[in-house]
């Protein structure tokens, strides 16, 4: 019998298996994702990129607008991030069976609201480690999706992507940044709460956010999903 050729999905999962297990254990031991205190973050004014030097990991992370050529890697990161939900079979199946549609990524490219995080190791090797996809929803900037390859987890990359998206939103004078997330895992709602996001009650949802939540309810997977919002204060400007 011919040897089975490993698929890209199988290769990704094999690569992640050991580190993902350790990462999940550490995440669930804590009340929220632990980030290195010694990391220093330097946000530049340009909306084209931002550099962050994570001293503990000895890497340099550069955020930039995604290109069409990045989409294959973005897809791979999305798949890799699903591994964090393996202990939640229903969630894992939902995410792996329903990846983000190509049209949504294409819209992010066209609107320049899809950013990727490239990491450079001391050896000079470069790899894209995460991405954030945003859109405008009811006059606010909305984070549609944030994923970081677990291989590069706990280095502040996700936090940096969120802060950069919020910096972009402020520069565009949006009143707030919104998102929909889960409450049952520490790297979702508790993580965003540490970044200044607060739960938005049902009666405060804008029309499109309400439709998004109603769709989730109709699909039967909304028991621990909430809308969160971070409001920007322009009074001092």
Task: Dump the DSSP string for the chain.
Answer: -PPPPPPHHHHHHHHHHHHHHHHHHHHHHSSS----TT-EEE--S-SSEEEEEETTTTEEEEEEE--GGGHHHHHHHHHHHHGGGTTSHHHHHHHHHSPPPHHHHHHHHHHT-EEEEEEE-TT--EEEEEEEEEEEETTEEEEEEEEE-GGGTTSSHHHHHHHHHHHHHHHTT-SEEEEEEESSSTTSHHHHHHTT-EEPPGGG--HHHHHHHHHHHHHT--TTEEEEEEEPP-TT-
* Whether pLDDT at 8 is above 90: no
Predicted confidence band of residue 180 (pLDDT cuts 50, 70, 90): very high
The CATH number of 8-173 is which of 2.115.10, 3.30.1070, 3.40.630, 3.40.50?
3.40.630
Which of 107 and 221 is assigned the larger pLDDT? 107
Q: Which of 63-67, 183-187, 205-209 has the lowest average pLDDT?
A: 183-187
The whole-angstrom distance between residue 131's C-alpha and the CA centroid of its chain comes to 6
pLDDT on residue 52 = 40
For the ranges 31-40, 89-98, 173-182, 219-228, which has the lowest average pLDDT? Answer: 31-40
* Model confidence band, residue 60 (pLDDT cutoffs 50, 70, 90): confident
Burial of 181 (0-12, 13-18, 19+ CB in 10 A): buried
Q: The whole model's pTM is what?
A: 0.75
């Amino acid at each position: 019998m011919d040897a089975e050729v490993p698929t890209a999905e199988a290769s990704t999962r094999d690569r992640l298996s050991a580190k993902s297990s350790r990462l999940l254990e550490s995440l669930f031991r804590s009340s929220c994702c632990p980030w290195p205190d010694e990391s220093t973050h330097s946000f530049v004014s340009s909306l084209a990129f931002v550099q962050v030097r994570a001293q503990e990991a000895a890497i340099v992370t550069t955020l930039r607008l995604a290109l069409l050529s990045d989409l294959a890697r973005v897809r791979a990161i999305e798949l890799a991030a699903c591994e964090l939900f393996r202990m939640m079979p229903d969630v894992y199946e939902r995410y792996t069976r329903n990846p983000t549609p190509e049209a949504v990524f294409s819209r992010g490219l066209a609107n320049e609201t899809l950013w990727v995080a490239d990491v450079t190791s001391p050896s000079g090797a470069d790899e894209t480690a995460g991405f954030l996809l945003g859109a405008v929803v009811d006059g606010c900037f909305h984070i549609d999706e944030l994923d970081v390859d677990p291989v590069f987890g706990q280095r502040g990359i996700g936090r940096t992507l969120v802060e950069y998206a919020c910096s972009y939103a402020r520069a565009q004078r949006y009143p707030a940044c919104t998102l929909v997330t889960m409450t049952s895992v520490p790297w979702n709602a508790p993580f965003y709460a540490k970044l200044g996001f607060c739960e938005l009650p049902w009666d405060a949802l804008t029309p499109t956010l309400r439709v998004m939540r109603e769709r989730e309810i109709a699909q039967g997977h909304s028991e621990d999903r909430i809308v969160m919002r971070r409001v920007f204060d322009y009074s001092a400007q």
